């Protein structure tokens, strides 16, 4: 079973990659011609309706193992094929929820197929109804921003709370923002801090950065520049560039204070 949500990195990316709505599936000759070693074996098993092989093949064509094999049309084909099978036969293994979510991403972003927000919504909802936290979060964003559907803030908040209950770190960060700003919920920095701490424990760069700002500005906590700096540093280490800037800004401010003596200090 492969790493959860192989297309998460494409979550809110834009792409002009599109293809025709029809796609001729692979055949044994193409497997043998285009793939080598284990990949070829997986391809042949996929053609024999082996679900695990089909899942692995979709992952291979999504470029998760070797970028040279990236073929979004084939990745979409195998994900959608398996998602349909799981939906029709009510296959409940969590791995099928991931497949449904990924199929939604292909439709939402127009990767390997024509962009279709209605079909994306269908597959995100299918995955969310099976308990998939990231699909719940995606639905919260869709209904909040009205992406291919009428905006509905109540529905968005419902999905966001479900995503938090499913332990999705991104949902915790977004809900923390709502509590901090008092949007859709009663303003409460303590709840916001609790959510951010949980998400930070899940290595969310955005949670660490947001929590750092709470300590920097004293929002619901005492101002603590060392804590803020440590949190910014963690977020920076998780490749959030905005956090790197905040980290070095604190350094610069501290250096300025060291170089500028207080006016009430008497020098002999």
pTM of the model: 0.82
What's the burial of 204, exposed, middle or buried (CB within 10 Å: 0-12/13-18/19+)?
buried
Q: How far apart are CA 75 and CA 59, in angstroms?
A: 7
**pLDDT score recorded for residue 187:** 97
Q: Is 26 left (phi over 0), alpha (psi -120 to 50) or beta?
A: beta
pLDDT tens-digit map of 135-182: 999 999 999 999 999 999 999 999 999 999 999 999 999 999 999 999
pLDDT at residue 263 greater than cutoff 50 = no
Taking only Cα atoms into account, the Rg of the chain, rounded to an integer number of angstroms, comes to: 23
* Residue 254 confidence class, pLDDT cut points 50, 70, 90: low
pLDDT tens-digit map of 38-76: 888 998 898 888 888 888 889 888 988 788 889 899 999
pLDDT tens-digit map of 87-109: 998 888 888 999 999 999 999 99
Full DSSP string of the chain: -PPS-TTGGGTT--------S--PPP-HHHHHHH--HHHHHHHHHHHTT-HHHHHHHHHHHTTSS-GGG--HHHHHHHHHHHHHHHHHHT---HHHHHHHHHHHHHHHHTSSS---HHHHHHHHHHHHHTT-HHHHHHHHHHHHHTSSS---HHHHHHHHHHHHHTT-HHHHHHHHHHHHHTSSS---HHHHHHHHHHHHHTT-HHHHHHHHHHHHHTSSS---HHHHHHHHHHHHHTT-HHHHHHHHHHHHHHHHHHHS--TTPPP-
Positive or negative: CA dihedral 174, 177, 182, 186: positive
For residues 119 and 253, the model is more confident at 119
The mean per-residue pLDDT over the stretch 184-212 comes to 97
Q: Which two tokens stand for residue 10?
A: 């494409």
């Amino acid at each position: 079973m492969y790493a959860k949500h192989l297309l998460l990195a494409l979550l809110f990316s834009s792409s002009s990659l599109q293809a025709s709505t029809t796609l001729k599936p692979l055949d044994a000759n193409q497997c043998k011609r285009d793939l080598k070693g284990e990949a070829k074996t997986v391809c042949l098993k996929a053609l024999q309706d082996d679900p695990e092989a089909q899942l692995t093949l979709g992952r291979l064509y999504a470029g998760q193992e070797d970028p040279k094999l990236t073929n979004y049309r084939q990745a979409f084909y195998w994900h959608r094929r398996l998602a349909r099978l799981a939906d029709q036969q009510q296959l409940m293994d969590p791995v099928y929820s991931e497949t449904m979510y990924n199929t939604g991403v292909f439709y939402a972003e127009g990767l390997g197929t024509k962009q279709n927000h209605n079909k994306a919504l269908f597959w995100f909802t299918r995955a969310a109804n099976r308990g998939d936290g990231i699909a719940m979060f995606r639905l919260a964003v869709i209904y909040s921003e009205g992406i291919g559907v009428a905006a509905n803030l109540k529905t968005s908040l419902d999905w966001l709370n479900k995503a938090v209950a499913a332990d999705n770190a991104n949902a915790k960060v977004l809900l923390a923002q709502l509590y901090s700003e008092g949007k859709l919920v009663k303003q409460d920095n303590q709840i916001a801090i609790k959510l951010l701490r949980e998400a930070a424990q899940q290595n969310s760069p955005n949670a660490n950065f947001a929590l750092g700002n709470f300590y920097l500005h004293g929002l619901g906590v005492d101002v603590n520049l060392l804590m803020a700096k440590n949190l910014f540093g963690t977020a920076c280490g998780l490749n959030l560039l905005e956090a790197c800037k905040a980290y070095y800004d604190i350094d610069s401010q501290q250096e300025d204070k060291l170089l500028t003596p207080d006016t009430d200090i008497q020098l002999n």
